[in-house]
Amino acid sequence: MNKDETSGNGTYRELYERTVKKFATQAYRTILMSYRDMSMADFEQVKADNNNFESEADRECLEKDLVAYAIFGLQDPLRSTIVSSIQETKTAGIRTIMCTGDNIDTATAISINAGIVTQEEIDASPESKMYSCMTGKDFRNAVGGLTEVDSPTKPGKKIEAVGNMKKFRDIKKHLRVLARSSPEDKRILVTGVQDSDGVVAVTGDGTNDAPALTKADVGFAMGITGTDVAKGACDIILLDDNFSSIITALRYGRNVFDNVRKFLQF
């Protein structure tokens, strides 16, 4: 079956894309199942001709002439407390931005279900529609990535800065979802918010979250599913992997701060 062959509803590529889009808008992650008939002797010959599949580039030769036969939709249900926790962060004056490897449609649907953003907020203005849900590549290109500049407080020392802070500030007003994001995209986001006089807390569980966890003012790593690299890069480990635990930490932290301020004023 060729991807450009025609089915009853257009080309097979169009059929696949419509199916993926349908799953994604319902917050499903998709997996395409495919196969390729090959004898063991042919497989061993292909393997030998491509550096024994040592790298990902070497294995790309297998991703040709495949026959697709199914698309599965997988959903990771939201915790029962996530919607109320997100609402509490909004009440507390905290903005939650979701950075994920999911495609833009899946990420947007999940963020709406979690209460991170609403459809009304996305459609509020042309800028909001453009910037509230972005891919990491578009975000990175728009703000000019990271660059090195002279430190304003330490002569001769270089520090990281966002290439185009004016554009970053325009985007930051609306940004709620960063899809297909890379470790660099997360680090750009953290750096830009800090340079805008914001305080940043980052949550993560993977090795690719380590740069952002290290850069953040406070890094939260998952104690159950988190990798050792993520745990080593963070400041606080969540033993139950629950976002609502951050709300508890925030409540205690603000209470301590208020008490210290009252004591100093007294």
Domains in the chain: ranges and CATH? 6-74 (no CATH), 82-258 (3.40.50.1000)
Q: What is the pLDDT of residue 150?
A: 85
Q: How confident is the model over 188-194, as a mean pLDDT?
A: 95
**Mean pLDDT across 178-183:** 94
What's the angle, vertex CA 68, arms to CA 67 and CA 72, rounded to 5?
Answer: 155
pLDDT of residue 69: 86
Return contacts of 168-175, CB within 8 angstroms, 24+ apart. Answer: 168/143, 168/192, 168/196, 169/196, 170/127, 170/131, 171/131, 171/134, 171/139, 171/142, 171/143, 172/196, 173/127, 173/131, 174/127, 174/128, 174/130, 174/131, 174/132, 175/97, 175/131, 175/132, 175/134, 175/139
Amino acid 6: pLDDT: 54
| pLDDT of 247 above 90 | no
Q: Decide if 202 contacts 190 (C-beta within 8 A).
A: yes
Per-residue three-class SS string for 61-107: HHCCCCEEEEEEEECCCCCCCHHHHHHHHHHCCCCCCEECCCCHHHH
> What is residue 266's predicted lDDT score, i.e. its pLDDT?
61
pLDDT at 129 exceeding the cut of 50? yes
Q: Which of 196, 228, 194 is nearest to 212 (CA)?
A: 194
pLDDT at 207 over 80: yes
Given a contact cutoff of 8 angstroms between Cβ atoms, the answer to whether 97 and 122 are in contact is: no
pLDDT beyond 60 at 5? no
Mean pLDDT of the chain: 89
User: Can you tell me the mean pLDDT for 31-35?
Assistant: 90
The answer on pLDDT for 112 being more than 80 is yes
Separation between Cα atoms, residue 47 and residue 148, nearest integer Å:
43
Give the model's confidence band at 236: pLDDT under 50 very low, under 70 low, under 90 confident, else very high: very high
Better-predicted residue by pLDDT, 213 or 156 = 213
Task: Answer whether 0.85 is exceeded by the pTM.
Answer: no
pLDDT value, residue 153: 79
Please say whether the beta carbons of 141 and 61 come within 8 A. Answer: no
- Residue 253 is predicted with a pLDDT of 87
Model confidence at 1, in pLDDT bands (50, 70, 90)? very low
